[in-house]
């Protein structure tokens, strides 16, 4: 099976500082991969390279075996429709209400009748466990957790094969965070998704990820299952997982089943 994401030899600078050096990353179909790394290690920058928002100084990114940087307009559009992205703060269009935010990518196809779009939006809303009465609210009137859910519904609007999440649980309280993680895991399972996410939260990662990629020393130093990464003898892994190792060992067995 081909890799959903394949980044090779990524080198990039931000403000004159080298943040990635000859970095390789592959995401296989069906993986639920968490990208972890210290703060300032270039996780979000890497994510932006992967989805083509920025271009690395060197190296290539292939999505679904197509090199994004070399696509023509229509091909690029078709490619962009195959994945959904959840931005850290939701990035909902503040001038549109929740319904129109989710409907936007569907309407942009210009081939679906409005009543079908309405049903699809209601379906996506129920997927992310929101009530129909939230549909008419403006983003400013939604709570932080609801903004994330609406943003997730928008990312799922086109039934993507790949979901990219930037800090999905940042800014949520532990309770909501756990619920959101459960939601993502459920969707991953149900919708047969491939998920790539950046996270800081060890608990999120333990509950969610099937695989973990560690970004340190300007490259991906490990890409393996969680127990293997936890066992890694590297200063970052030791400090990142630190006192959570017990938790991980107790839960890891469950996740493998």
Partner 1 sequence: MTRPSAQLAAAGPTQTLRLSGTWTLHALAGRVNELTRLLSDYGADRELAWDLTGIDLLDSTGALLIWRAWGRERPPQVALRPEHDAALLRLARVPRAPAPGRMGDFLEPVAFLGRQEAKLLDNAVGFIALIGYMVFDLFYLVAHPAAIPWREVSASVYKAGARALPVTALVGFLIGIVVSYLSALTLRTYGAGLYIIDLLGISIIRELGPLLAAILLAGRSGSAMTAQIGVMRVTEEIDAMVAMGLSPTLRLVLPKVLGMAIATPLVSVWVVAAALFGGWVAAYVLLGISFPYFFQTLPSVVHPDNFWIATVKSVAFGVGIALAACHFGLRVRPNTESVSAGITASVVTSITLMILLDAVFAVAFRDVGFFTP
Nearer to partner 1, 125 or 181 (CB): 125
DSSP letters spanning 77-108: HHHHTTEEEE-TT----TTS-HHHHHHHHHHH
Radius of gyration (C-alpha) of the chain in whole angstroms: 18
Q: Which of 24, 116, 182, 256 binds partner 1 (CB under 8 A)?
A: 116
**Considering only residues 148-177, where is the footprint of partner 1 by CB under 8 A?**
158-159
Q: Return the structure tokens found at 248.
A: 């991980």
Residue 40 is a binding residue for partner 1 (CB under 8 A): no
Residue 118 is a binding residue for partner 1 (CB under 8 A): yes
Q: How far is CA 251 from CA 181, 224, 256, in A?
A: 15, 16, 9
Q: Phi, psi (5° rounding) for residue 219? A: -150, 175
Nearer to partner 1, 191 or 216 (CB): 191
Contacts with partner 1: how many residues (CB under 8 A)?
33
Residue 1 is a binding residue for partner 1 (CB under 8 A): no
Contact 82, 34 (CB under 8 A): no
**Residues of 102-138 as b/e, b for ≥16 C-beta within 10 angstroms?**
bbbbbeeeeeeeeeebeebbeebbebbebeeebbeee
From the list 13-21, 170-178, 189-197, 245-253, the region that binds partner 1 by CB under 8 A is: 189-197
Nearer to partner 1, 14 or 123 (CB): 123
Q: How far is it, in rounded angstroms, from Cα 56 to Cα 45?
A: 9
Rounded to the nearest whole angstrom, what is the least distance from the CB of residue 106 to partner 1 in the complex? 8
Residue 127 is a binding residue for partner 1 (CB under 8 A): yes
Residue 69 is a binding residue for partner 1 (CB under 8 A): no
Residue 81 is a binding residue for partner 1 (CB under 8 A): yes
Binding site for partner 1 (CB under 8 A): 81, 93-95, 97, 99, 109, 111-113, 116, 118-120, 122-127, 131-133, 135-136, 138-140, 158-159, 190-192
């Amino acid at each position: 099976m081909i890799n959903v994401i394949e980044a090779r030899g990524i080198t990039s600078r931000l403000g004159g500082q080298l943040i990635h050096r000859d970095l390789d990353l592959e995401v296989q179909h069906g993986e639920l991969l968490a990208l972890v790394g210290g703060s300032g290690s270039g996780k979000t920058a890497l994510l932006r390279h992967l989805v083509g928002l920025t271009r690395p100084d060197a190296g290539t990114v292939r999505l679904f075996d197509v090199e994004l940087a070399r696509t023509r307009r229509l091909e690029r559009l078709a490619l962009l429709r195959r994945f959904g992205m959840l931005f850290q703060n939701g990035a909902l269009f503040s001038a549109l209400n929740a319904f129109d935010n989710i409907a936007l990518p569907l309407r942009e196809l210009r081939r679906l009748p409005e009543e079908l779009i309405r049903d699809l939006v209601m379906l996506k809303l129920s997927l992310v466990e929101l009530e129909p009465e939230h549909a008419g609210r403006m983003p400013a009137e939604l709570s932080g957790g609801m903004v994330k859910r609406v943003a997730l519904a928008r990312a799922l609007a086109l039934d993507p094969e790949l979901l990219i999440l930037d800090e999905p649980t940042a800014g949520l309280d532990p309770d909501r965070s756990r619920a959101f993680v459960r939601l993502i895991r459920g969707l991953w399972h149900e919708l047969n998704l491939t998920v790539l996410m950046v996270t800081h939260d060890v608990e999120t990662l333990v509950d969610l990820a099937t695989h973990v990629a560690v970004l340190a020393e300007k490259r991906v130093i490990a890409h393996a299952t969680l127990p293997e990464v936890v066992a890694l003898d590297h200063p970052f892994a030791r400090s990142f997982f630190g006192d959570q190792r017990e938790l991980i060992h107790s839960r890891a067995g469950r996740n493998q089943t």
